Structure 1
Amino acid sequence: MEFEVWPEAIELGHMFAEQGYELSLVGGPVRDLLLHRKSHDLDFCTSARPEEFEPILKRFGRDGFWDMGRKFGTLGAMRRRKDGTEVQVEVTTYRSDRYDSDSRKPEVSYGDSLEGDLSRRDFTVNAMALRVPDLEFVDPFGGANDLSKGILRTPVDPRQSFEDDPLRMMRAVRFVAQLGFHIEPDTAEAISDMVDRISIVSAERVRDEVTKLLLSDRPHEGIEALVDSGLADIVLPEIPALKLEIDEYHRHKDVFEHTLMVLDRAIALETGPDGPVPAPDLTLRLASLLHDIGKPGTRRFEPHGKVSFHHHDAVGAKLVRKRLKALRFDHHVISDVSELVNLHLRFHGYIDEPWTDSAVRRYVKDSGHLYERLNRLTRADATTQNKRKALMFSEAMDELEDRVRELKRQEDFDAIRPDVNGNEIIEVLGIKPGPEVGRAYKHMLDYRLDHGPADHDTALAELKRWAADEGLIAE
């Protein structure tokens, strides 16, 4: 078997061999070599202990060295190539870990062989190695054969593997999304039988796996695997719940199928790196996946066999906040995704009756920096098979976007402010700083959005009229 291996891997192999130590390229980089995919970070394992290979790695990594993983036997280094690109390497001593049944954190113990180290890895496709500098291919568990067949299988008994590290179950569905593989039946059965074990994994680690799944090339397949395995019942229970609900637009499909269709359509609307929503976009993908999770709790059976989901947008936004907070997503991601879910039905009123310019300004102002994502989510959500309705919807959205571009040529929406400021409100109304000032400011901003720019006297007259109606000043 021939390999075109990174020259840095060969060089590092010679450096270790000169000191009498074994070194092998392992895991993802070896898998990617066989798949003819690029890999920028190189993982190695070695017979040497960290204190023994630290001087070698420091000589190699002239542009960077780190030892945050020292307690796990891992050290890292970085080197810049002449073309300006970087190569990062991490080297770990052979390991033979033992796990506590109540924790996925191993009791680190060093091993004495490459084959033993490979046996503790998650899947056979990641349990292959390439000894350097000799380029001897090591594949004790048939990873290359599984790779050619697109199979995910554990090197040892899957129940033992998932008992040791339950996060491997999440990795399995993530690899379905990233590599397009399917999970071998015994491995899939073990996951289904052991899903409760995922509860001992930290929310942050689960979040990272969900994020990688969604940012992959095939998130649709990954979400299906997550649900089919039963893992979603624990980590994202709102998604399998959608399987029970009938979508009001597609009586022959449930909301789960509709959701996956929306996810696919939203991804297709992502842009290149210079566009407004560069691919892959986590916020848009999360919003597409979660946009209808308010439907199960709002479903109502109406007369004549109709089904309604009134206010599922607002209910869904609250559920999104709760779920993403539980998964420890960053606050700005939580805020943005929940707001997209809250606004995802906003455009539908435009089709029945085109908006005034003030309503268009309000739509753009309310969506703010999420405007481009909201439009893409809205387009993706229009999955009707009725060609006439689909055309009407698309043309209406095109018209709205044209109107927004024209209005933006006339005025900077981001700079829209009330025609009176906070200090003037305090002075004119004779009130102290506090909630009333905020209410007055909001009213004047709404007035500005509804009526466009007003001269100063007109704005002051409106402020006084509103304050009188609110009982803040005498008429």
Structure 2
Amino acid sequence: MTINLTQNKNFKLFKTISAVAADNKQSVYIVGGFVRDLLLDRKEPTDIDFVTEQSGIDLAKAVGKALDPNLKVSIFKTYGTAMIKFKNLDLEFVGARKESYSEDSRNPSVEIGTLNDDQKRRDFTINALAISLNSENFGELIDPFEGQKDLTKKILKTPLEPSQTYSDDPLRMMRAIRFASTLNFTIEENSLQAIKNEAERIRIVSMERIMVEFNKIMLSKKPSIGLKLLEETGLLDLFLPQLTALKGIEEKEGQTHKDNFWHTLEVVDNICENTENLWLRWAALLHDVGKAPTKKFIDGIGWSFHGHEFLGSKMVKSIFYQLKLPLGSDMKYVQKMVKLSSRPISLIDDGTSDSALRRLLFDAGEDLEDLFILNKADITTKNSKKQEKFKQNFEYVAEKIKEVEEKDQVRNFQPPISGEEIMELFNLNPGREIGILKEKVKEAILDGEIPNEKIAARKFVIKEGEILGLKIQN
């Protein structure tokens, strides 16, 4: 089969590479994800991999010179690869190779091979497809493992025996599940069983590499596809046991609670309909993570998960540390979302004070809208009347908060009187009294004792300063 590349936006580039390879007496083929996505009619990736049966580095140097003598060619001698950034593309060139693996590493021993050897070492048949750029068969699809047929059937299979494929490079297990989630493909039965059998091998893979694949699952249209497969194969329990701890339903005295693991997966899918924000999706994944350690049966009341939001927010830091995820602002954002996840629902009552609304505004700040997206995603009841009622409740809270915000302006709160002004007022040097008075001003505004205004705050500080034994300077 020949692929018509003449209409491809990169056709001119491909012809240039073909001509350079011919001049240098080298073969050249496009391989991997670019070919797969071209055949799936998906948006083509901006990284394109080329294989030659000679030196990938030599070909890259020659291509770079032909495209633009000033182009930088990044060379990685250890791996026999070279990279060129050309316009908005990342072009990678590699010599065809065959690989062998040791038991305790996913880094293979590499030796020179043929195109067929290179295709054999690929993770899945759909990624083992190649398109020739050689002049004698330009555009020919080379498909030794029937990857095109698997694309049509939406099946993920390994080119070689699956257990060996996953044992050699256990990251491929994560990649299989990632492709199942992002492409909505089915993992072939023998391949799925092999992942279950080889799951423990994931321990030799760095957590950073695991998280790259996991975050791609989290950014897919329906992450539950991948999350269910991770649970089914036993992989999830190996790197995120705090989540699998939510599985199961207990019954006591005829009372049960929902399965918080499967509920969580629904919440993640729900939130993905309304946000591309990876960390808000993570907040949905971890919003109930504190329920396993706080679960308790109380006689006469039933199952309780009291304080699960607060414990869950504390668990976020240790989970991010364990998973080698960033511990800065992204982690703090997820902590904040988890901690506040149940707050809005408690404000639905008509008797809710303006003080409680101000405090939610203050605590959520600029992330209030994200918190409401999370709250709405948390509605997983199948009863349409209940769904509508819950959504109306959140709209009601949002409207009340809007009214308070317009009146009191406490979102992204800045104190109406600064520490410097307090120091000048009482002729003080920096010290604990300044912090005490600023905190008292904040609490007074949030409790509605004084308006969020400079004059009122100044009068309040003078009064509170006198209680602390401070004297105003004339």
Aligned residue for 1:47? 53
The secondary structure found in structure 2 opposite 1:355 is coil
- Give yes or no for contact 1:77–1:88 (8 Å, CA) kept in 2: yes
**Which of 87, 95, 98 is equivalent to 2:97?**
95
Aligned residue for 2:293? 297
Distance in 2 (CA, whole Å) between partners of 1:130 and 1:122 is: 17
1:78 maps to 2:85: yes
Structure 1 residues 56 and 409, CA gap change in structure 2 (3 angstroms): farther
Q: 1:27-426 counterparts in 2 under 5 A? A: 27-39=32-44, 40-62=46-68, 64-67=71-74, 69-80=76-87, 86-107=88-109, 109-133=110-134, 134-245=138-249, 253-270=258-275, 280-304=276-300, 306-330=302-326, 331-353=328-350, 355-409=352-406, 413-414=410-411, 416-426=413-423
Distance in 1 (CA, whole Å) between partners of 2:293 and 2:424 is: 48
Structure 1 residues 329 and 60, CA gap change in structure 2 (3 angstroms): farther
Q: Which whole-Å deviations, capped at 9, do the CAs of 1:368-416 have from their partners, x for residues lacking one? A: 2321211100111122345554333322221232344455555654563
Distance in 2 (CA, whole Å) between partners of 1:441 and 1:298 is: 35
Distance in 1 (CA, whole Å) between partners of 2:308 and 2:75 is: 46
The secondary structure found in structure 1 opposite 2:247 is helix
1:447 maps to 2:444: yes
- Give yes or no for contact 1:26–1:128 (8 Å, CA) kept in 2: yes
Identity %: 34
Deviation for aligned residue 1:64: 4.5
Structure 1 residues 89 and 305, CA gap change in structure 2 (3 angstroms): same
Deviation for aligned residue 1:357: 3.7
Q: Which amino acid aligns with 2:72?
A: F
Q: Which amino acid aligns with 1:57?
A: V
Structure 1 residues 42 and 351, CA gap change in structure 2 (3 angstroms): same
Count of residues in Structure 1 that have an aligned counterpart in Structure 2: 458
TM-score (norm 1): 0.88
More off after superposition, 135-144 vs 408-417: 408-417
- Give yes or no for contact 2:344–2:397 (8 Å, CA) kept in 1: no
Distance in 2 (CA, whole Å) between partners of 1:204 and 1:214 is: 15
Distance in 1 (CA, whole Å) between partners of 2:256 and 2:73 is: 56
More off after superposition, 233-242 vs 361-370: 361-370
Distance in 2 (CA, whole Å) between partners of 1:342 and 1:252 is: 21
Distance in 1 (CA, whole Å) between partners of 2:4 and 2:433 is: 70
- Give yes or no for contact 1:262–1:288 (8 Å, CA) kept in 2: yes
Distance in 2 (CA, whole Å) between partners of 1:310 and 1:429 is: 45
Structure 1 residues 3 and 170, CA gap change in structure 2 (3 angstroms): same
Structure 1 residues 403 and 463, CA gap change in structure 2 (3 angstroms): same
The secondary structure found in structure 2 opposite 1:67 is strand
Structure 1 residues 466 and 348, CA gap change in structure 2 (3 angstroms): farther
Extract unaligned runs of 5+ from structure 1: 81-85, 271-279
Structure 1 residues 299 and 60, CA gap change in structure 2 (3 angstroms): farther
Deviation for aligned residue 1:162: 1.8
Extract unaligned runs of 5+ from structure 2: none
